[in-house]
Amino acid sequence: MISVKIIDRVSAAVSNVLPSQLSSDVKKNMRAALQSTLERLDLVTREELEVQQAVLARTREKLQELEKKIAALEKQLLEKK
């Protein structure tokens, strides 16, 4: 989920571009619409992405180890025949 800090930064950047005469209600509605849109995108933070990359790397390593073990066991079975 997108953090409030990110939504605040994007909202502030958009507010800086908009005319200063806009009422606070318009700014609040804009922020709410922005937050809703970003939440529907189902984005993840950099930290969450990096954690998942590390998990994937460990999983790949384990898979390679298991594939080697299976190959060795298959070789042993073939040699016994």
The pLDDT of residue 20 is 66
In tens, the pLDDT along 12-60 reads 777 777 666 666 777 778 778 877 887 788 778 889 999 999 999 999 9
Alpha-carbon distances of 41 from 28, 35, 37, rounded to whole Å:
20, 10, 7
Place of tokens 């990359």: 53
Whole-prediction pTM: 0.52
